[in-house]
Amino acid sequence: MAECKYRILRIINRFNLGGPTYNVTYLTRYLAPEFETMLVGGMKEESEAASDFILEQNGLKPIIIPEMRRSINPMNDIKAYYHIKKLIKEFNPHIVHTHAAKSGALGRMAAFSCNVPITLHTFHGHVFHSYFGNVQTSVYKNIERYLAKRTTALVAISEKQKHELADIHHIASPNKFHIVPLGFDLERFWTNKEVKRKQFRVQYCIADNEIAIGIIGRLVPVKNHKLFLKAFHQAKAQTKVKIKAFIIGDGELKEELMNYCKEIGLSYTSRHGLHPDFDVFFTSWIKEADVANAGMDIVALSSLNEGTPVSLIEAQAAGKPIVSTQVGGIENVVMPGETALLSAVNDVNAYTENLVKLCNDSTLRAKMSEKGKGFVMERFHYSALVKNMRTLYLKLLEGKHL
């Protein structure tokens, strides 16, 4: 067996359920033994789904920094910074690779201070619109520009994201960015699909002739769930069959979204067990994403901003057509008009029209389903992620003569 040649300290904001966690997991596991990785992360929010099972399934035990949290807290952030510096001095990495904003700031500052030969940062999204006000956004941009100047290389996960970061927000020049799409274990979304579909639809009493529409993600403002709910409400009167909505996820807006359902006349439930007579089902997080996707007929997204939405990649792997807003990197992870019907942000009428079109046309759903699987398997399997990142690492190491 080959021996370790290089050491990487890989730092992620937190191990919540989502693309960044899968990304760091597959890189840590499949770049070994050539690259020895120390995997480090902060604490997830209480409302976020735990991703411990992803790490355990891949035989990984990360180091958790309790003080590194999503929110800004000067005392905690300083403690996390010094904790990272201590790890760097102990591990002596050739590369510090950070993922997402908080760990990207603290991890790179610690790496600069310790004279680590190579620093690399992956943007899994950005907060430069639809998150904060103008003043706060300007501050974050300036911080990122400062960090980018001192960082060896930057990774964008799509062409669209690179364009936004380099050409619109001017975080760094385009030649400093390398495009490395995310990678996932997608086979599980296709295998035993009919068994999984029956399992989910029996659990939620979904009849064969009913259309289940799922939207998967945190219940937070940027995900814009109210657009989805309003469009779903309008679509109900225009579809030939009964439709049901499944809000899969959890977060700070759960109660507000339930009240919104009541306000616009949608019946809803958040109870587990058999309950067939509701419009909207708040399921909280579902650990078996492959089972949930199998049970759906359509997968939706209504975000104001996105990096590389994992739910849409997984939906296509499961052969599900998509209705989504056209924001961020979405157009890089779907085939517009072929695997997904897209509309402008907050255009509720166009969004409704797309929902109705898919609900009423089973032939169109089947056609889009077939195209989606091949599209994502070629572009977003974890083997491509590992190959591309290894090539980038070796190029940077060669440039430093390490």
Return per-residue pLDDT of the chain as tens, 402 residues.
467 899 999 999 988 877 788 899 999 999 999 999 999 999 887 767 678 888 998 999 999 999 998 788 999 999 999 999 999 999 999 999 999 889 999 999 999 999 999 999 999 865 555 455 677 778 889 999 999 999 999 999 888 889 989 999 999 999 999 999 888 889 899 899 999 999 999 999 999 999 999 999 999 999 999 999 999 999 999 999 999 999 999 999 999 999 999 999 999 999 876 667 899 999 999 989 999 999 999 999 999 988 778 899 999 999 999 999 999 778 889 999 999 999 999 999 999 999 999 999 999 999 999 899 889 988 898 998 999 999 999 999 999 877
User: Which residues on adjacent β-strands are paired with residue 243?
Assistant: 211
Q: Identify the pLDDT of residue 377.
A: 86
Cα–Cα distances in angstroms (integers) from residue 368 to residues 188, 213, 223, 339, in the given order: 19, 15, 24, 5
Contacts of residue 332, defined as CB under 8 A and 6 or more positions apart, other chains included, come to 158, 159, 160, 161, 181, 308
**330 Cα distance to chain centroid:** 11
Please say whether the beta carbons of 225 and 264 come within 8 A: no
Q: Identify the pLDDT of residue 49.
A: 66
Q: Identify the pLDDT of residue 273.
A: 64
Query: Domain 6-183+381-399 class?
Result: alpha beta
- What is the spatial distance between Cα 136 and Cα 15, in angstroms, rounded to a whole number? 25
Q: Identify the pLDDT of residue 43.
A: 85
- Determine the CATH number of domain 187-379: 3.40.50.2000
Contacts of residue 77, defined as CB under 8 A and 6 or more positions apart, other chains included, come to 67, 68, 106
Q: Could you give the 3-state DSSP secondary structure of residue 28? A: helix
Q: Identify the pLDDT of residue 159.
A: 85
- What is the spatial distance between Cα 402 and Cα 392, in angstroms, rounded to a whole number? 14
Please say whether the beta carbons of 44 and 15 come within 8 A: yes
Q: Could you give the 3-state DSSP secondary structure of residue 7? A: strand
Sign (positive/negative) of CA torsion 311, 313, 315, 317? negative
Indicate where the chain has its CATH 3.40.50.2000 domain(s).
6-183+381-399, 187-379
Q: Identify the pLDDT of residue 10.
A: 98
Sheet holding 6-14, edge to edge: 63-64, 35-42, 6-14, 95-99, 118-123, 153-156, 177-179
